[in-house]
Amino acid sequence: MKDFSGRIAVITGGGTGMGRALARQLVAEGCDVAMCDVSAANMAESIALCEAEAPQGVRTTSFVCDVSDAKQMDAFAEHVQSAFNTDHINLLFNNAGIGGGGSFLTETREQWEKTFNVCWGGVYNGARAFMPLLVAGSEGHIVNTSSINGLWASTGPQSSHTAYSSAKFAVRGFTESLITDLRIHAPHVKASVVFPGHVGTSIMLNTEATGETGAAGARTLLRMMGHPVDEMSDDEVLELARTTGETFRDKAPTTAEEAAGVILDGVRNERWRILIGPDAYLLDEHVRLAPEEAYEPEFVGRWIGSRRRKDA
């Protein structure tokens, strides 16, 4: 699929970050875009940006949806068919995700499963809801967002990262399995898995994904990320959430716009494995060179050292 003009794309998590960047770049190329997100306000901003940049006749639509809920995703698929009067789509970007869910041992089942069910369940539910529409078109492409934590299930020896990493490995395995499944049963549909490194998005600021707002949402998100917030005041929690999220977004080596461009180039070139950012490439290289050492404390030092040498 070299040209996106006249195509129909579905994007989960379209309210911010890579989802918004994908939507803007696709509509600029003449592609109709349907997006979902848990935040109606964020999607309204994305839609406004898309409409300001889209050629005449390009359509956009949005739908408030929790991707971890299969019924809501099915309703999103029905909305897309109705809004665009279509029996097919061409592109599906299962992009939505949240952070958190660190320790399997110390966190509650609800905290752990919230992250897992969005980051993995959202991909599964998206594929289930929209695969019939992808297959119904003359050509299609499903793009599932994993992470560098789908290459390496850790953030280092001092912190637990089990829910997010488990989900992102599930996304990786599912997409790799789909390659053969689609080749046998729907060869006109391709599959890609995306491994972003540190990309400048608002994932760390997205407290709405926890199902709560304000200090309660920030406290839940920070606790899921491993921060000791139980003894902190609401004001302290809100300030920590703000600084943590802004630092993650603003200090990233790759912007959301750059990441979206890499993803779309990967689709054009039918690449099933799409790494984003120099950190992702270096991490992949180090894990492949010494997989048995990947979870030893010294591994992180070697990886960070190689990143610094590359940047020098």
112-162 pLDDT, tens digit each: 999 999 999 999 999 999 999 999 999 999 999 999 999 999 988 877 889
What's the rounded mean pLDDT across residues 182-203? 90
- pLDDT higher than 60, residue 88: yes
Residue 103 is predicted with a pLDDT of 87
Residue that wins the pLDDT comparison between 181 and 202? 181
Q: Give the pLDDT score at 259.
A: 96
Length of the chain, in residues: 312
> What is the helix, strand, coil percentage profile of the chain, to 5?
55, 15, 30
Does residue 212 register a pLDDT over 60?
no
Bridge pairing between strands 60-64 and 189-196: unpaired
Residue 265 near residue 2 (C-beta atoms within 8 A): no
Q: Judge residue 83's burial from the number of C-beta atoms within 10 Å of its C-beta, 0-12 exposed, 13-18 middle, 19 or more buried.
A: middle
State the pLDDT confidence band at 18, using cuts at 50, 70 and 90. very high
**Are 102 and 108 contacting, i.e. CB atoms less than 8 angstroms apart?**
no
Contact 29, 6 (CB under 8 A): no
Catalytic residue among 124, 164, 281, 295: 164
How far apart (Å, rounded) are the C-alpha atoms in residues 114 and 118? 6
What's the mean pLDDT in 235-254? 70
In this prediction, residue 229 carries a pLDDT of: 74
Please provide the distance, in angstroms rounded to a whole number, between the alpha carbons at the two ends of the chain: 38
What pLDDT does residue 247 have? 63
pLDDT class of 221 with cuts at 50, 70, 90? low
Q: Which residues contact 176 (CB under 8 A, 6 or more apart)?
A: 193, 272
Picking from 60, 63, 61, 1, the residue whose alpha carbon sits closest to that of residue 28 is: 60
Characterize the bridge pairing of strands 60-64 and 273-276: unpaired
**57 DSSP assignment:** T
Give me the pLDDT at residue 252, please.
67
pLDDT at 59: 97
pLDDT per position as a tens digit, 31-68:
999 999 999 999 999 999 999 999 999 999 999 999 99
Burial environment of residue 271 by CB neighbours within 10 A (0 to 12, 13 to 18, 19 or more): middle
Higher pLDDT pick, 242 / 121: 121
Domains detected in the chain: 8-201+254-307 (3.40.50.720), 211-251 (no CATH)
Q: What is the pTM of this model?
A: 0.86
Q: Which residue has the higher pLDDT, 238 or 14?
A: 14
Residue 234 to residue 199: CA distance in whole angstroms: 28
Concerning whether 164 is annotated as a catalytic residue, the answer is: yes
Residue 67 near residue 117, CB atoms below 8 Å: no
Please give the share of the chain, as a percent, with pLDDT higher than 70: 88
What confidence category does residue 307 fall into, taking pLDDT thresholds of 50, 70 and 90? low
Do the Cβ atoms of 8 and 31 come closer than 8 Å? Answer: yes
pLDDT score at 211: 53
- State the pairing for strand pair 254-255/140-145: unpaired
Lowest mean pLDDT among 59-73, 151-165, 206-220, 279-293: 206-220
Q: What is the pLDDT of residue 158?
A: 77
- Specify whether the CB–CB gap between 27 and 47 falls below 8 A: no
Q: Does the pLDDT of residue 266 top 90, yes or no?
A: yes
- Is the per-residue pLDDT at 244 higher than 80? no
Using N-to-C axis directions, what is the helix angle for 256-268 and 17-28, rounded to 10°? Answer: 60
pLDDT band at 220 (very low <50, low <70, confident <90, very high): low
